[in-house]
Structure 1
Amino acid sequence: MKSLLAIYPGSIVSEELCIREGCLCFFDESNQRYISIPKTEISEKEVLVLQAFLTPADEGNQLSMKSPEENKWFSFLFSKGELPAYIKKRTRFVHFHLFGKIERTSFTEAVRHFWPVSFVIVWIHEDRGVIVEQESEAAKKGELESLAKVLESDFYFSVRFYAGRFYEPDECLRKHYTREQAYFLFAEKRLPQVQSVTFEMIFPFLLLETEKEKLETLLSEESELLFGSESELRKTIKLFIENNSNVTLTAKKLHLHRNSLQYRIDKFIERSGIDIKSYKGALLAYFICLQNESSE
Structure 2
Amino acid sequence: MLENLKQKFPNTITNKMDTDEISEYVWFEDSRSILGIPRSEITAEEIRLLELLFAPSINPNNPKTYQDVSWKTFLSEPNAPLPLTSWENVRFIHFKLTHADFSISDFEDAFLAFVPSDAALVWENETSGILIETDKDESLSNNELIAISSTLESDFYVKTRMFTGRFHPVNQDLHHHRNQEKKCFALAQVHLPDLKVANLADIIPHSLINDPSVTNARWYINEILGKTKQDTELIKTIKTYIECNSNATYAAKQLYIHRNSLQYRIDKFSERTGLDIRNFRHALTAYLILLLNE
Equivalent position of 2:244 in the other structure: 243
Q: How far apart, in 2, do the equivalents of 1:277 and 1:183 lie?
A: 23
Seen in structure 2, the aligned counterparts of structure 1 residues 192 and 254 have a Cα distance that, compared at 3 Å, is closer
Q: How does 1:149-188 map to 2 (within 5 A)?
A: 149-188=150-189
Task: Indicate yes or no: 2:201 matched with 1:200.
Answer: yes
Equivalent position of 2:216 in the other structure: 218
Which letter maps to 2:129? Answer: G
Equivalent position of 1:104 in the other structure: 104
Per the normalisation by structure 2, the TM-score is 0.65
Cα shift readout 1:97-147 (whole Å, capped 9, x = no counterpart)? 122314332222332343256311111122211111123336344122222
* Rg comparison, structure with higher value: 2
Q: Is the 8 A contact 1:276 1:282 kept in 2?
A: yes
Which letter maps to 2:155? Answer: D
Which letter maps to 1:69? Answer: Q
Seen in structure 2, the aligned counterparts of structure 1 residues 109 and 264 have a Cα distance that, compared at 3 Å, is farther
Equivalent position of 2:191 in the other structure: 190
Q: How far apart, in 2, do the equivalents of 1:178 and 1:65 lie?
A: 27
Which letter maps to 1:70? Answer: D
SS at match of 1:157: coil
For the aligned residues, what is the CA RMSD? 2.9
SS at match of 1:109: helix
Task: Indicate yes or no: 2:67 matched with 1:69.
Answer: yes
Equivalent position of 1:129 in the other structure: 129
Q: How many residue pairs were aligned? A: 226
Equivalent position of 1:282 in the other structure: 283
Which letter maps to 1:133? Answer: E
Q: How far apart, in 1, do the equivalents of 2:65 and 2:292 lie?
A: 42
Displaced runs of 4 or more, over 6 A: none
Q: How far apart, in 1, do the equivalents of 2:249 and 2:80 lie?
A: 48
Equivalent position of 1:272 in the other structure: 273
Seen in structure 2, the aligned counterparts of structure 1 residues 99 and 151 have a Cα distance that, compared at 3 Å, is same
Runs of at least 5 residues in structure 2 that lack an aligned partner in the other structure: 1-61
